Structure 1
Amino acid sequence: MASASVQPKTFAEFLLWEQSQERRNEFVDGVAVMMAGGTRAHDRIQRNLLVRATERLQGSGCEPLGPDVIVETAAGTGRYPDMTIDCGPYDGNALTAAAPTAVFEIWSESTRKPDLLIKLRDYDATISIRHYILIAQTEYMVFVYSRAEGGGISLRPSELRRPEDAVELPDLGLVLTLAEIYQGLGLKGA
């Protein structure tokens, strides 16, 4: 196990430090914070997102990235979103997303507050991020935050609650219905 006693002080130091850790960490307010594991529902939603987004974004110049690629925010944090749409150039050796454009987080009751407040602040500070999508695990409930033209991310998200509702990101050419996102979870329709 790598020593946790030497904490990185900058994001660059964090990237080097993180590669030697057994568990994944995020870099928040200058501190490495160990990430918790997820549920099977979380894993299934994440897989559904990646499969559908990969199908729909082929040839678009944008690529869905899984939770192993970190997003460096302009707020000086490093986050591992559940899925990132990256529209930057491909670099197979890169540890970070080149141009994160949409960020998806799957929340539980224990992560709801940080996802709604702290991560929203971090992603809003990053001008390339045009959409922040929050997905509940236990019910049809998705919040889509989008950046206003030339401004910040709107604090009034689109709220989706029915299986036939869809996350629509027209600037990326991506549409994902809630039925697709939650496929295989056995949720009752609203």
Structure 2
Amino acid sequence: MEGEGAKKYYSISDYLELESNSEQKHEFRDGIIIAMSGGTIPHNLLGGNVFYSLRDKKKKGCTVFNSDQRVYFDELNHYVYPDISVVCGDLEISGKDEHAIINPVLIVEVLSDATAAYDRGEKFRKYRSLPSFKEYLLIDQEQPIVDTLFREDGKFWRMQTIIGLGKKVPVYSLDIEISMDDIYLNIPGLKEPQFKLDL
């Protein structure tokens, strides 16, 4: 819906009505509705692999959601669909939308050429506005590379990059590790990473 002359602004009610009747998902960015493109085969497989890895190892009391789950940022008036989100403890639901959560502790995004800059930049800033949000995993779909960003002391973020198969990715917010081999299981066209050492 972008790029078609002057932007039209919509209410949240307009957006939620559209979502309830649409087979395609859309983000809502403070009045702007943006259609989401479908993922590639590697993107979809990676999302599934990470979902099952987290679900199988998660702590008791944590719930893992796939990319159909909406997350709402009340402070920013935005809705997004992360590739994976995890809530620990009670689910907190948006007062404006009974199908949107507002308290994910962990969010995972599978990167693509089209979305990598947004996922690393503006979208990460949005996620940081959520008080519950503690950890962000960014999955490269072309090479076995995973970036983890973890909130320390409630304010500072620590970044770690895991490179190559045969290694473990620490998920600090859940106190678990997941295998790079499990994340990249059966991913077609996977390339050798340019860097060999974790950063």
Question: Could you say which TM-score interval applies, normalised by the shorter chain?
Answer: 0.7 to 0.9
What is aligned with 2:149?
A: 145
Give the counterpart letter for 1:161 in structure 2. Answer: I
Residue 130 of structure 1 and its aligned partner are, at CA, apart by: 0.4
Pair 1:14–1:105, CA change in 2 (3 A): same
What is aligned with 2:162?
A: 160
SS in 2 for 1:38: coil
What is aligned with 2:30?
A: 29
Pair 1:117–1:90, CA change in 2 (3 A): closer
Query: How many angstroms apart in 2 are the aligned matches of 1:166 and 1:110?
Result: 27
- Work out whether residues 103 and 131 of structure 2, in 8 Å CA contact, stay in contact via their aligned partners in 1: no
Query: How many angstroms apart in 1 are the aligned matches of 2:184 and 2:106?
Result: 19
Which residues in structure 2 correspond to 1:1-190 (within 5 Å)?
8-10=10-12, 13-57=14-58, 60-73=60-73, 74-89=75-90, 94-151=98-155, 154=157, 157-185=159-187, 187=190, 188=192, 190=196
TM-score by length of 2: 0.81
Query: How many angstroms apart in 1 are the aligned matches of 2:49 and 2:16?
Result: 28
Pair 1:150–1:44, CA change in 2 (3 A): same
Give the strand-richer structure, 1 or 2: 2
Which ranges in structure 2 are unaligned for 5 or more consecutive residues? 1-6
Residue 7 of structure 1 and its aligned partner are, at CA, apart by: 5.0
Which ranges in structure 1 are unaligned for 5 or more consecutive residues? none
Residue 71 of structure 1 and its aligned partner are, at CA, apart by: 1.0
Pair 1:6–1:171, CA change in 2 (3 A): closer
Query: How many angstroms apart in 1 are the aligned matches of 2:102 and 2:76?
Result: 16
Query: How many angstroms apart in 1 are the aligned matches of 2:125 and 2:25?
Result: 22
TM-score by length of 1: 0.84
Give the counterpart letter for 1:9 in structure 2. Answer: S
Pair 1:105–1:32, CA change in 2 (3 A): same
Give the counterpart letter for 1:109 in structure 2. Answer: D
Identity %: 24
- Work out whether residues 168 and 177 of structure 2, in 8 Å CA contact, stay in contact via their aligned partners in 1: yes
Query: How many angstroms apart in 1 are the aligned matches of 2:89 and 2:36?
Result: 26
- Work out whether residues 107 and 137 of structure 2, in 8 Å CA contact, stay in contact via their aligned partners in 1: yes
Query: How many angstroms apart in 2 are the aligned matches of 1:171 and 1:129?
Result: 9
Residue 168 of structure 1 and its aligned partner are, at CA, apart by: 1.2
Q: What value does the CA root-mean-square deviation take over the aligned residues?
A: 2.5
Pair 1:88–1:26, CA change in 2 (3 A): farther
